[in-house]
């Protein structure tokens, strides 16, 4: 009896066999509806065999076949199946993750009609003046008069569904389905052209474009390293001209924070071709729409964050990953894939070029470039007429600090403010202070569920745990000794704002952190204020942008990610308030100053933070003479991290201990394997759960993979496996 093997979205590594009804033709990669336990479930066919290992009377039969052709392109199918093995993650969950939500739910893989609002006959005849008591309705009707609006466009026009519904009740507007959201079958390739403003490329840009263009018909991975503002986006756009004019499509991945209207409009303005964007504001049917348009070839460019990687394309010609170092490319829960790594894999499978761009490339990428796996391109100068930033390091040893700020920093700030410039300060801790300490007995307020200090939020009069978000009122008395001498220790943005207010009383100050930007639209509001030259008190735009940065460092080998994050914020600011901001990176009439403060600016920490080129030197210097500790850096070894959590602080460690024994006694274990743990996680308790981990390292990725694959089926036989919550992270980025 022929059977199909079906992957179901359940946390089990195995697939399930079903009988095929007569006259039915399931396809590999297509969906089927099958009985599963008491219910029915949607599954994806992973294979068809002449017979099953189980006897026919034990097997159930497929209920329905949902797809006549595979939902996956051949290359995506290979990538996903490879990823199932590599990340040791259940097949069903991986395959379902790669599909739009509506397809996971069993909806048909075709365009749903899009709805649009329009002004009725009566609405057109109504004088806008008559709606002046209902300004929102007035605005809504005015917006409909030039022509109908798609529902998903309302936000762009600052309209609400409520106002339109109110008009509908009055008979002035109505809703109708408008086609299938396609462009009526017109092929963009017929009238593709490059339009919009183009810069004359500088020599470095031209070299980069020439290199990529010269070899863009096959798989070539490029690492394009260039400081923010050096014109990387301009390089992507120019490279795309060639690809699109050959009728091929492009996939652009950006970090979560990078998906700004300005990035998108640069692509839209440059090409007369459909640009589709997968952003968080899309609803499920709009997402499916983008997926279908990419698959049919109707979309020329798809821009999206991490999961856009799984979009199927009819004629994919290039992948671009902007800010490739960004940690948002790594999925942090469930199937912990790295979109950059999978994208390189995809480019190889599709035999197309891939461009990884960054101001601060990941050490892994630099290493790949050094190993000649990637081709390396640099843009060393800022594009256009911006001057390079002036950087200065400040050793804080022995300096008097005013709430974290040294005198040299304060002097610089004073000078810039006096000259009418603006100043930016970065601090990686929100709230008023990161801890509350009893001056008498040393008690510290701590979240019991996470064993983590509460952060003091003075304005809200609350202590909040930044790990589980639990909150409690700030106590007046120490619960341990009764003293009222409770003092906030450390510095947070709220306190910095207060201090700055006292130091610079006449200077408007805008604080931007998660607390001040939680409300929708608040970030845009603050950015607009900054753009106008300062806080609410200031009205005239300042001439020039300059900035100072307070910098905090982490000892971990990824310490440069902090640099990257600051750069990212700066570029986010830039794109959010367009015209003036390019100057933020460097003033037009003088170099922007960028002072960072460090304790212990040792040679070890600074070089790898300062710039990518120096990081590259760091690698090349250290590689030949690696000491014991360095040789275990992730660049030179492959890592798998196994995490486990429990409620009683016993089972998780026990589970990992058993797992370690299992690995230790495996016939595939060799001397090069290095096991670390079980040890408590860096944050040993969170939300009432105790967290432990076991780290596996091996110089051979393949060897480590084989050991893991052979051991996993045995792990599930451990009794502790059912008592703890555990997960496996291949190539972890947070250890």
Residues 638, 729 contacting (CB under 8 angstroms): no
Distance separating alpha carbons of residues 88 and 95, to the nearest angstrom: 13
Kindly state whether residue 430 participates in binding ligand ADP, applying the rule CB under 6 A.
no
Q: 450 touches which of ligand ADP, Zn ion, none (CB within 5 to 8 A by kind)?
A: Zn ion
Nearer to ligand ADP, 71 or 254 (CB): 254
Distance CA 407, CA 413 (A): 10
Tell me: does residue 234 bind ligand ADP (CB under 6 A): yes
In the complex, least distance from residue 212 CB atom to ligand ADP, rounded to whole angstroms: 15
For the bound state, the minimum distance from the C-beta of residue 616 to ligand ADP, rounded and expressed in Å, comes to: 18
Please tell me whether residue 358 binds ligand ADP under the rule CB under 6 A: no
Q: Which partner, ligand ADP, Zn ion, none, binds residue 231 by CB below 5 to 8 Å per kind?
A: ligand ADP
**Footprint of ligand ADP on 181-210 (CB under 6 A):** 199-202, 205
Contact partner at residue 582 from Zn ion, ligand ADP, none, CB < 5 to 8 Å by partner kind: ligand ADP
Residue 232 binds ligand ADP, judged by CB under 6 A:
yes
CA–CA separation, 546 vs 416, rounded Å? 8
Binding partner selected for residue 384 from Zn ion, ligand ADP, none, CB under the kind-specific 5 to 8 Å limit: ligand ADP
- What residues are paired with 460 via a beta bridge? none
Residue matched to tokens 């004073």: 414
**Which residues of this chain interact with Zn ion, rule CB under 5 A?**
438, 440-441, 443, 447, 449-450, 465, 467-468, 470, 478, 480-481, 483
Pick the binder of ligand ADP from 100, 255, 317, 582 (CB under 6 A): 582
Q: How far is the CB of 567 from ligand ADP (least distance, A)?
A: 9
Interacting residue with ligand ADP among 116, 173, 228, 651 (CB under 6 A): 228
The sign of the CA dihedral 7, 11, 17, 22 is negative
DSSP state of 463: E
230 binds ligand ADP (CB under 6 A): yes
Binds ligand ADP by CB under 6 A, chosen from 297, 384, 388, 634 = 384
Q: Which one among 100, 231, 258, 289 touches ligand ADP, defined by CB under 6 A? A: 231
CA 428/CA 512 separation, integer angstroms:
11
Q: Which of 26, 226, 431, 534 binds ligand ADP (CB under 6 A)?
A: 226
Answer yes or no whether residue 587 interacts with ligand ADP by CB under 6 A: no
Lookup result for tokens 């640069």: 266
Alpha helices in 579-724 (DSSP H): 607-610, 612-622, 651-664, 701-715
CB of 230 to ligand ADP, least distance (A): 5
How many angstroms separate the CA atoms of 293 and 274, rounded? Answer: 10
Instruction: Kindly state the DSSP code that residue 283 receives in the 8-state scheme.
Output: -
Q: Is 476 exposed, middle or buried (0-12, 13-18, 19+ CB in 10 A)?
A: exposed
Least separation in angstroms between CB 561 and ligand ADP: 18
State which residue, 347 or 581, has the beta carbon closest to ligand ADP.
581
- Measured from the CB atom, the residue of 128 and 441 that comes closer to Zn ion is 441
226 binds, among Zn ion, ligand ADP, none (CB under 5 to 8 A by kind): ligand ADP
Going from the C-alpha of 576 to that of each of 248, 396, 401, 473, the distances in angstroms are: 30, 33, 33, 36
> Quick one: which of 229, 274, 488, 490 contacts ligand ADP (CB under 6 A)?
229
Q: Give me 238's structure tokens.
A: 């120019």
C-alpha 662/C-alpha 676 separation (Å) is 14
Least CB distance to ligand ADP at residue 712 (A): 42
Chain position carrying tokens 């109110």: 166
Q: How far is the CB of 206 from ligand ADP (least distance, A)?
A: 9
Helices (H), 196-305: 203-213, 232-245, 261-270, 284-296
Residue 678's SS3 state is strand
Residues 6+ apart with CB under 8 A from 705: 85, 86, 638
Give Dmax over CA atoms of the chain in angstroms: 86
Show the binding pattern over residues 63-82: x = contacts ligand ADP (CB under 6 A), - = does not: --------------------
679's tokens: 């040890």
Q: Is residue 323 part of the contact set for ligand ADP (CB under 6 A)?
A: no
CA–CA dist 431, 502 (Å, integer): 18
Contact footprint for ligand ADP (CB under 6 A): 199-202, 205, 226, 228-234, 383-384, 582
């Amino acid at each position: 009896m022929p059977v199909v093997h079906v992957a179901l979205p359940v946390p089990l590594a195995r697939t399930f066999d079903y009988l095929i009804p007569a006259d039915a033709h399931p396809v590999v990669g297509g969906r089927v509806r099958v009985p599963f336990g008491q219910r029915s479930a949607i599954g994806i066919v992973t294979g068809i065999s002449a017979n099953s290992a189980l006897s026919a009377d034990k097997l159930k039969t497929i209920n329905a076949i949902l797809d006549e052709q595979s939902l996956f392109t051949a290359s995506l199918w290979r990538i996903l199946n490879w990823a199932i093995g590599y990340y040791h993650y259940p097949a069903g969950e991986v395959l379902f993750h790669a599909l739009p939500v509506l397809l996971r739910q069993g909806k048909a893989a075709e365009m749903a009609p899009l709805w649009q609002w329009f002004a009725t006959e009566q609405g057109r005849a109504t004088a806008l003046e008559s709606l002046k008591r209902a300004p929102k309705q007035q605005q809504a009707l005015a917006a409909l008069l030039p022509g109908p609006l798609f529902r998903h466009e309302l936000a762009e026009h600052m309209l609400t569904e409520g106002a339109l519904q109110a008009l509908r009740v009055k008979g002035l507007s109505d809703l109708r389905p408008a086609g299938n959201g396609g462009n009526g079958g017109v092929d963009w390739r017929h009238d593709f052209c490059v339009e919009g403003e183009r810069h004359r490329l500088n020599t470095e840009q031209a070299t980069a474009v020439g290199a990529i263009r010269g070899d863009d018909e096959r798989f070539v991975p490029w690492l394009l390293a260039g400081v923010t503002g050096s014109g990387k986006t301009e390089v992507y756009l120019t490279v795309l001209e060639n690809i699109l004019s050959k009728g091929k499509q492009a996939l652009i991945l950006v970090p979560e924070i990078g998906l700004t209207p300005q990035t998108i409009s640069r692509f839209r303005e440059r090409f007369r071709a459909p640009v589709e964007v997968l952003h968080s504001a899309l609803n499920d049917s709009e997402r499916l729409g983008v997926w279908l348009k990419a698959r049919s070839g109707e979309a020329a460019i798809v821009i999206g964050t991490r999961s856009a990687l799984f979009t199927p394309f009819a004629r994919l010609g290039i992948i671009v990953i902007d800010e490739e170092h960004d940690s948002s490319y790594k999925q942090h829960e469930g199937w912990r894939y790295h979109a950059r790594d999978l994208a390189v894999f995809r480019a190889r499978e599709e035999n197309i070029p891939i461009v990884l761009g960054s101001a601060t490339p990941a050490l892994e990428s630099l290493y790949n470039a050094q190993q000649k796996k990637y081709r390396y391109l640099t843009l060393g100068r800022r594009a256009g007429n911006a001057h390079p930033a002036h950087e200065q390091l400040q050793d804080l040893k022995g300096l008097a600090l005013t709430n974290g700020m040294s005198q040299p920093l304060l002097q610089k700030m004073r000078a810039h403010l006096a000259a009418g410039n603006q100043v930016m300060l970065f601090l990686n801790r929100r709230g008023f202070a990161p801890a509350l300490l009893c001056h008498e007995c040393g008690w510290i307020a701590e979240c019991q569920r996470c064993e983590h200090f509460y952060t003091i939020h003075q304005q809200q009069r609350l202590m909040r745990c930044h790990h589980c978000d639990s909150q409690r009122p700030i106590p007046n008395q120490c619960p341990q000794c009764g003293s009222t001498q409770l003092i906030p220790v450390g510095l947070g943005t709220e306190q910095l704002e207060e201090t700055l207010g006292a130091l610079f009383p006449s200077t408007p100050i805008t604080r931007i952190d998660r607390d001040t930007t939680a409300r929708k639209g608040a970030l845009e509001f603050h950015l607009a204020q900054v753009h106008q030259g300062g806080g609410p008190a200031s009205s005239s735009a300042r001439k020039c942008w300059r900035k100072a940065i307070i910098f905090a460092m982490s000892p971990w080998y990824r310490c440069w990610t902090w640099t990257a994050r600051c750069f990212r914020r700066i570029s986010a600011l830039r794109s959010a308030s367009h015209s003036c901001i390019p100057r933020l990176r460097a003033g037009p009439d003088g170099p922007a100053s960028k002072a960072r403060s460090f304790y212990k600016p040792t040679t070890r920490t600074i070089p790898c933070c300062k710039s990518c080129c120096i990081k590259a030197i760091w690698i090349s210097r250290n590689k030949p003479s690696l000491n014991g500790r360095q040789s275990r850096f992730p660049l030179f070894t492959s890592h798998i991290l196994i995490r486990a959590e429990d409620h009683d602080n016993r089972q998780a460690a026990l589970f990992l201990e058993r797992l370690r024994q299992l690995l230790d006694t495996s016939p595939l274990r060799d001397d090069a394997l290095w096991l670390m743990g079980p040890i408590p996680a860096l944050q040993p308790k969170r939300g009432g759960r105790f967290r432990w981990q076991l780290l596996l390292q091996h110089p051979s990725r393949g060897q480590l993979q084989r050991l893991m694959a052979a051991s996993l089926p045995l792990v599930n036989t451990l009794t502790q496996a059912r008592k703890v919550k555990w997960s496996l992270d291949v190539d972890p980025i947070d250890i």
